[in-house]
Amino acid sequence: MTYHLAGDSTVAPMKAGEEPMAGWGECLDEFVSEEVRNHAFGGATTESFLASGAWDALLTDVVPGDTVVIQFGHNDQKQPESLASRGGYTDRLHRMVSEVRARGARPVLCTSCERRWFDGDRVTPTHGDYPNAVRDLAAADGVDLIDLTAFTTWLYEDLGDEASARLLSHYAPGETAAWPDGLIDDTHFRVEGARRIARFVAQCLRAIERRDGDQPAKGSTFTA
């Protein structure tokens, strides 16, 4: 069995020279024994992932019994006319789910990782209706859902503002070659944060597999 990952920069492998910035998909193979094939790339939307050929490339290697983990939304929300939460965005997610199932594989949907934007001791939601649209699609289509919006919100609030910043790409001047003047980025993980998310995703995937064995997913939701 192989895990295939479709998503944006919060899932994608780190780029050479941008260490230690990493998507959680970079670290998933640390917590699972199965092969991981990460097709995610920075800036991806559901539309660009399809149009670029990345989706077709992913499907080429999918065989019965595999799992395809799908997480988009960060960039789709920037194109509300063509990729509305209850329109083009979920239409394309529904297509991906259907095509995975047609190959005898298991689709797993993820809501977007929340941005680490604190207002006092609470994290401000930044994705509008997009997480709810994925939740509703998962329920309607009977697809397993890993609710990374809920999990990362809980994680950041549990750690608090100062400690949670260590999971994101906050770099001091001179700390990294890619950003010699420093960086404060509350969307993209540093490798420590990517590992924390990957560990949770791996735990959810194991729970799905223990429940279903070799049977198709029945549509459970996994959250904090």
Tell which residue, 25, 20, 32, has the closest CA to residue 8: 25
Mean pLDDT within 129-135: 98
pLDDT at residue 81 in the model? 97
Give the number of domains in the chain. Answer: 1
Looking up residue 175, the CATH number of its domain turns out to be: 3.40.50.1110
Mean pLDDT within 209-215: 72
Residue 164 in contact with residue 155, Cβ under 8 Å? yes
Residue 122 in contact with residue 164, Cβ under 8 Å? no
Q: How far is CA 53 from the centre of its chain?
A: 19
Residue 216 pLDDT > 50, yes or no? no
Mean pLDDT within 33-59: 98
For the chain, give the mean pLDDT.
95
Alpha carbon of 104 to those of 24, 59, 205: distances in Å? Answer: 25, 11, 17
Instruction: Please state whether beta strands 183-189 and 221-222 pair in parallel, antiparallel, or not at all (unpaired).
Output: unpaired
Residues whose CB falls within 8 Å of the CB of residue 122, separated by 6 or more in sequence, listed in order = 157
Range of the domain at 145: 2-222
Residue 184 in contact with residue 120, Cβ under 8 Å? no
User: pLDDT tens, 17-42?
Assistant: 899 999 999 999 999 999 999 999 99
Residue 113 pLDDT > 60, yes or no? yes
pLDDT band at 213 (very low <50, low <70, confident <90, very high): low
Residue 218 pLDDT > 80, yes or no? no
Residue 212 pLDDT > 80, yes or no? no
